[in-house]
Structure 1
Amino acid sequence: MPDFSKKHWFLRENLQPQRLRQVLEYRQPDLTIVTDNVHKGRNLSAIVRTADAAGIGTMYCSMPDKDYKAFRGTAMGSHSWVSVRRQADVSAALTPLKAQGYQVLAAHLASDSVDFREADYTRPTVILLGAEKQGVSARGCELADMHITIPMRGMVQSFNVSVAAGIILAEAERQRHLAGMYSQCRIDEQSFRQTLFEWAQPKLSEYCREHGLAYPPLDDEGELADGLAWQQAVRAGTAPQYTW
């Protein structure tokens, strides 16, 4: 059993807890991305990084399991800050979100498409992005509440999907900033504490999940408030349990 009483044994290197808390306070729980069969790992990784920059904490990938496993193998660093959840198809990704009241904005050129800047991103919003060649699937378009497009002034017909994500999310961030949506913490306290623990103590959080243990409290420096006492409780079998 690791010695949890040792200072800095598990703390994520080079990151201050104050910085982690600040990032969590900017998180937008009602803004997310769903990718519709975007297979290229480099595009997905770029989208994940852009999502993090816009304050998105969770996004969804609709793609086959084997492709998702390949992506996970090459983009683990990106997943440190954004939870990426795979769904077998776009319906499985979008239907629960629509049931929660999210509007779905599909980046798709159609006869009814509007300029992406006309959408209201202060509402609970899903940005649906398709693969560069195929675009958003027919089913994704059916589930969308609005089709949006980025005006093009040159000969090129479309942006790279990761570039399009950055352009659209910049507008979403602008609108939400003006509405004051980044000026106060918008995630619930339990989610805040759980995510902070996982970010500050990745190895210890993994240990807790493997052994069905609740996360112990942290001090202001992101370390265990009383590592020795918690270690003794774990050995004695009296540490609080949790079903992961």
Structure 2
Amino acid sequence: MTPARIERLRQVLARRQPDLTVLTDYVHKGRNLSAIIRTADAVGISDVHCVIGDSDYKRFLGTSMGSHSWVDVHRYRELAPPVELLKTQGYQIVAAHLSPTAVDFHEVDYTKPTALMLGAERVGISEQGEAYADVHITVPMVGMVESFNVSVAAGIILTEARHQRQQAGLYDQQRIDQATYDRLFFEWGHPKVRDFCLANQLAYPPLREDGEIDNPSAWYAQARELLAARAANAS
């Protein structure tokens, strides 16, 4: 890696927001999911939770064009598991949903642990999602159309979340734990070695201060010996 690349990775990781996420409630169009994930990365989100059916998820994976490179997408078939997980972790569930109780999206405090819930195109948030939400929000409009595209709405709301967090200084210091920082730095900086290690259930090799693998020839030799020993024991 070049020094500029290393510095870029460090800057991005130092601004990741571990307590801001997106939860999609059966958003099924791959292009919208990909746009939401790109926006999530742009505001420092590392994890997105997607409730989506099998066939729609396969189509999304086929058209994601690398959007998973910087954001971990956690897939679910039902809404209850991710909501329960996030609520247990102290997140407020903020649903983009036009209801009688909905408030202007600016009125929410996004410096709190927040999960933005987004519903499917035309259908919106499900009844289950509506009930799970702690607050419903809406983006004011003055035109003839009734709603923004879901990915556009995500961009508008997450930009407000980023602004509030910027004002509160939440991008001014590293907020993810060091173990997560080190893991992501390795995975982003050495994707081929990451894939090799994951495929073969190997621990990541140590890195030097310049971000490169420490003594790569020795590590690869050791890895080959370990894999050969495994194969011999299995035969």
What displacement does 1:132 show? 2.1
How far apart in 1 are the matches of 2:28 and 2:101? 27
| Residue 42 of structure 2 corresponds to residue 39 of structure 1 | no
> Considering only aligned residues, what root-mean-square deviation do their CA atoms show, in Å?
1.6
How far apart in 2 are the matches of 1:164 and 1:15? 33
| Residue 120 of structure 2 corresponds to residue 120 of structure 1 | no
How far apart in 2 are the matches of 1:103 and 1:49? 22
* Structure 1 residue aligned with 2:69: 80
SS in 1 for 2:194: helix
5+ long unaligned stretches in structure 1: 1-10, 239-244
Q: If the length of structure 1 is used for normalisation, what is the TM-score?
A: 0.89
Flag the structure with more relative contact order, 1 or 2, with Cα contacts below 8 A and sequence separation at least 6.
Answer: 1
Report the AA paired with residue 38 of structure 2: R
| Residue 90 of structure 2 corresponds to residue 90 of structure 1 | no
How many positions carry a matched residue from both structures? 227
**Residue correspondence of structure 1 range 122-141 to structure 2 within 5 A:** 122-141=111-130
Q: Do the aligned residues in 2 keep the contact of 1:17 with 1:220 (CA within 8 Å)?
A: no
Stretches (4+) displaced over 2 A: 219-222, 235-238
| Residue 148 of structure 2 corresponds to residue 166 of structure 1 | no
* Structure 2 residue aligned with 1:100: 89
* Structure 2 residue aligned with 1:7: none
Report the AA paired with residue 153 of structure 2: A
* Structure 2 residue aligned with 1:211: 200
How far apart in 2 are the matches of 1:38 and 1:125? 19
Q: Give the fraction of aligned pairs with identical amino acids, expressed as a percent.
A: 55
* Structure 2 residue aligned with 1:193: 182
* Structure 1 residue aligned with 2:99: 110
How far apart in 1 are the matches of 2:16 and 2:212? 23
What displacement does 1:195 show? 0.8
5+ long unaligned stretches in structure 2: 228-235
SS in 2 for 1:112: coil
Q: Do the aligned residues in 2 keep the contact of 1:16 with 1:221 (CA within 8 Å)?
A: no
Point out the more displaced range, 141-150 or 88-97. Answer: 88-97
* Structure 2 residue aligned with 1:68: 57
What displacement does 1:85 show? 1.1
Report the AA paired with residue 60 of structure 2: F
Higher normalized helix content (fraction of residues): 2
What displacement does 1:15 show? 7.0
Selected match of 2:131 from 124, 142, 145: 142
Selected match of 2:38 from 49, 66, 74: 49
Selected match of 1:233 from 198, 222, 231: 222
Report the AA paired with residue 61 of structure 1: C
What displacement does 1:21 show? 1.2
How far apart in 2 are the matches of 1:232 and 1:141? 55
